[in-house]
């Protein structure tokens, strides 16, 4: 049984989301981030759902869904199956951030960044668990690829959620503008192949925020060296 969980909220990752200093970090700022991360983690109620589909190229067999875009075609090359997944921190985190926005905007910003780091940690852990399970059966898992990455349309959020029945399973819905609700949630697909696959680079060129990223424009990146 795969259990969605937060194992750590890395303060450095939080500072990257905030666009703050990554070296010579003031002790007071680091302490505030750590305390806020602890509060966020105690509030979060991680939930996740996943489902395996057979693939014909980028078409999910047994459904009407075929994934469009050159990037996802490349990502799923030689994959015979795909794992759709969705994860969320839950509505309690959404309410925590909204309450802070009324009384303490600085704290709200830190909470929001902690939540972003937390949902990524949940997805990383779930991906690692799925990889262990798939490899135990003699197959190999790609890394995850989400709607909005590269040229994979963000509108596919709705299709992913429908196929996973996320509203009933984990309380996750999609707005008319294709935003996940609660916001601190992720949908993704991972391919299953009979041979090892090279994972995608996590550099700026592969990020769907490449053109608008304020961190990159400031002369740094959100990736560790």
Asked if residue 222 has pLDDT above 70, the reply is: no
- Residues 55-64: tens digit of each pLDDT: 999 999 999 9
Residue 205 placed within a domain: no
Query: What is the token pair recorded at 30?
Result: 């680091």
Residue 34 placed within a domain: yes
Residue predicted with more confidence, 1 or 7:
7
- Residues 101-124: tens digit of each pLDDT: 999 999 999 999 999 999 999 999
Residue 162 placed within a domain: yes
Residue 218 placed within a domain: no
Indicate the pLDDT class of residue 197, thresholds 50, 70 and 90: confident
What does the pLDDT read at residue 44? 97
Indicate the pLDDT class of residue 27, thresholds 50, 70 and 90: very high
- Residues 152-182: tens digit of each pLDDT: 999 999 999 999 999 999 999 999 999 999 9
Residue 106 placed within a domain: yes
Residue 5 placed within a domain: no
34 is in which domain, residue-wise?
Answer: 11-198
Residue 33 placed within a domain: yes
76: Cα separation from own chain's centroid: 18
pTM above 0.85, yes or no: yes
Residue 203 placed within a domain: no
What does the pLDDT read at residue 171? 97
Q: How many domains does the chain have?
A: 1
What does the pLDDT read at residue 207? 55
CATH number of the domain residue 101 falls in = 3.40.109.40
Indicate the pLDDT class of residue 185, thresholds 50, 70 and 90: very high
């Amino acid at each position: 049984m795969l259990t969605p969980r937060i194992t750590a909220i890395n303060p450095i990752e939080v500072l990257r989301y905030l666009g703050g200093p990554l070296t010579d970090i003031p002790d007071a700022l680091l302490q505030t981030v750590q305390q806020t991360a602890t509060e966020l983690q105690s509030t979060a109620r991680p939930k996740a759902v996943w489902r395996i589909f057979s693939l014909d190229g980028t078409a999910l067999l047994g459904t009407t869904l075929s994934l469009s875009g050159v990037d996802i075609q490349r990502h799923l090359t030689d994959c015979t199956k795909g794992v759709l997944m969705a994860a969320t921190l839950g509505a309690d985190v959404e309410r925590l951030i909204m309450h802070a926005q009324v009384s303490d905007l600085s704290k709200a910003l830190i909470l929001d960044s902690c939540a972003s780091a937390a949902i990524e940690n949940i997805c990383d852990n779930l991906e690692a668990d799925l990889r262990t399970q798939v490899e135990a059966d003699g197959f190999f898992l790609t890394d995850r690829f989400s709607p909005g990455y590269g040229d994979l349309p963000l509108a596919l959020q709705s299709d992913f959620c429908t196929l996973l029945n996320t509203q009933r399973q984990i309380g996750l819905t999609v707005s008319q503008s294709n935003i996940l609700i609660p916001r601190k949630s992720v949908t993704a697909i991972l391919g299953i192949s009979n041979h090892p696959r090279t994972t995608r680079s996590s550099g700026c060129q592969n990020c769907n925020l490449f053109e608008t990223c304020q961190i990159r424009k400031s002369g740094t990146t959100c990736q560790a060296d």
